[in-house]
Every structure is written in C-alpha cells, then in structure tokens.
Structure 1
Amino acid sequence: MKFAIAKLIKKHGELYSEQLGIKLQSKKESEIFKWFLAALLFGKRISENISIKTYQEFVKAKITTPEAILRAGRDRLVEILDKGGYVRYDFSTADKLL
C-alpha cells in the first residue's frame, strides 16, 4: 500500500496537506482540524485553485480552530469564503462549519 501511495505522489505531485502547510505527521489535534477544514473546502464542486485560495484566507484570518470559527460567526465566515472565491457555496459552507 505504501508503495502505491508513493508512486501516485511521485506521478501527480505533492499532497494537498503539504501544499497547504498542514503537518498531519505531527498528529496534533490542531493540524488534524486544519485538514478537516481543507477537506470540507475541497469536498464541494468547486475548482482546486479556489479551494486552496479560500483555505489560505482562513489561515490569513487566523481562523483555523473550532473556537476561532465559532467566534467568527456566520457573517465573518461568509466574508472569508467570498474573499477566497468560494461564492457559490459561501452560506451553506459557513452553516456547515458552525
């Protein structure tokens, strides 16, 4: 299995988690939550570039923890999603995060 994964990575490039600076190897709860957030963004029918840009907007706004998301509230989350270009699913994604 490890060989197959390594072969796929070699053929297609680095992992999304690595591209986004998420350190899953650390197994820290904070890094795992960042991956959850990124996975939620990548899970919609929206371009890869928009998902990446939107995740980066969350990082820039320092909203990458459950507590920060709750403090931000729906309007702020929608603002960040829109800034990243995630306009098609902004309200529904904000609601899911909350």
Structure 2
Amino acid sequence: MKTKKQRIIETLLDRHGQTFAEELGANIPRNTPSPLFRVLCLALLTSAPVGAAQAMRACRALGEAGLTTPRKMADSSWQERVTILNEHGYARYDEKTASQLAVMTYHLQENYHGDLRYLREEADGNRDKARKRLKTFKGIGSVGADIFLREAQVCWPEFRPFADKMALKSAARLGLGDDVETLSQWVEPETFPRLVAALVRAQLNKDHQTIEKAAA
C-alpha cells in the first residue's frame, strides 16, 4: 500500500507535473542554444515583480514573434520588444525589460558566443559557479539564476537535484522535506525536474490543501 507521501507525490505530478520550459514550448531536453536562451529569457521576465502567469505569457509572445535566439533578439528593435511585452501583461515593466533583454543578449553573445552551453562548460559541474555566472547577466539575480537551473537540470544532469526556495517551501508545506536531498529521494532522477516544477506550481496556485485532500 502506498504511503500518504507517495500519494501526494503522484497527485502533484498528475496535477502540475509540467516543467515551465515545456509550458513555454522550449525543447530543453535537446540542450541546444535556442531552448536554453528562451529559458534564460523566462528567468529574466519571472524575476520582475509580476505574476508568474504574466511572465510566461510575455515570454511565449516573444517566441511567437520569432525572438527565439540571441541573434534574432539582438536584431529586434527596442520598440518591437516593448510592444510585445506591453501587449502581453508586462505594461509596467515593458521598457525596462526590453532594455534588459538587449543587454542580456549582448552579454551572452560577447562572453558565451550566444550559447549557454559554454557557461555550462565554465561551471564544470559546480552549481555555485553556474549561479555566479548566471547572475552576471543584467536582470538575473539569485531568483532568476535558480529558475534557470531548476529548468536546465533536465539537460544538465550534473546540477541535479536542484530545487529553488519556492519549491522547497512548497515541499515542506506538504511534508515532503525542506531540503533538496530529502526531496530527491521520492522520485527517480529523471522525474525530479517535473516534481520541482509541480511544487512551484502548487505554491503559486495555493493548491496544497486540495492536493492533500486528493491524496488522503
């Protein structure tokens, strides 16, 4: 017979087990420059004081407009980016974020040839080094760096298991442990990114009581 915690895990994955990269439409398992760049853009947009749904909507809109690579982002105009962001829920931060996207893209091209896999190589499996390098991008702070690593662990397994503060807070609320080592014991390594995303979604949706009732 399954324990209540095992049922909670299953319920979490059933209700919310989609990574944010998947929702964005970024094929992160490919570990190619474009999906990684799009996840970095999502990390930047999510770092602003806006709702997660607004950030996702705006980032999807950038992709639908074709701004899916550093070169295409660099070739876009500031006004084009402002318009896209403004029309998709980012009205208060559209101008600032449009500028940050340009600076971030320039930094990526100048320091990593437009390819975040070079950042991965420089980090050499060291999570702290990876976070430090991610935080050199304008607009990416601790939260943004953690968001990126949370998603990138799908294709960068040397950083797995990784869970950000929001995921661990959610896990503690559900009695699954408050540290990444404990949490990672509940699922296979390949499933862990989905579990972390599910915990973040549960926190964003204030869904814990519903999950606990469903798992009772």
Shorter-chain TM-score: what band?
A: 0.7 to 0.9
Matched, 1:48 2:52: yes
TM-score with structure 1 length normalisation?
Answer: 0.83
Return 5+ residue gaps in structure 1 as ranges. Answer: 1-6
Relative contact order higher in (CA < 8 Å, ≥ 6 apart): 2
CA distance in 2, matches of 1:82, 1:50: 11
Residue 34 of structure 2 is aligned to residue 17 of structure 1: no
**1:41-98 C-alpha deviation (Å, 9 max, x unpaired):** 1111101121111112112111121111121111111011101110111111111111
2:30 matched residue in structure 1: 26
SS in 1 for 2:74: helix
- Cα distance in 2, alignment partners of residues 42 and 58 from structure 1: 14
Coordinate RMSD, CA, aligned: 1.8
Q: State the secondary structure of the residue aligned to 1:80.
A: helix
Cα deviation, residue 37, structure 1: 0.9
State the alpha-carbon separation in 2 of the partners of residues 30 and 64 from structure 1. 6
Task: Please report how far the alpha carbon of residue 27 of structure 1 lies from its aligned counterpart in structure 2 after TM superposition.
Answer: 0.7
CA contact under 8 A between 1:24 and 1:32: conserved in structure 2? yes
Matched positions, count? 92
> Highest CA radius of gyration, 1 or 2?
2
* Runs of 4+ deviating beyond 4 Å: none
Q: Distance in 2 between matches of 1:12 and 1:46?
A: 24
State the alpha-carbon separation in 1 of the partners of residues 82 and 14 from structure 2: 36
Q: Relative to 1, partners in 2 of residues 1:12 and 1:42: Cα closer, same or farther, differing over 3 Å?
A: farther
Match of 1:77 among 52, 76, 81: 81
Cα distance in 1 between the residues matched to 2:94 and 2:35: 23
Indicate the residue corresponding to 1:65 in structure 2.
Answer: 69
Q: Is the 8 A contact 1:57 1:83 kept in 2?
A: no
Question: Where does structure 2 lack aligned partners over 5 or more consecutive residues?
Answer: 1-8, 103-216
Aligned with residue 94 of structure 1, among 92, 98, 109: 98
TM-score, scaled to structure 2: 0.40
Shift of the 42–12 alpha-carbon distance from structure 1 to 2, 3 Å rule, reads farther
Aligned 8 A contact 1:82 1:90 in 2: yes
Name the SS for the 1:94 alignment partner.
helix
Candidates 35, 38, 42, aligned match of 1:38 = 42
Aligned AA (1:40): L
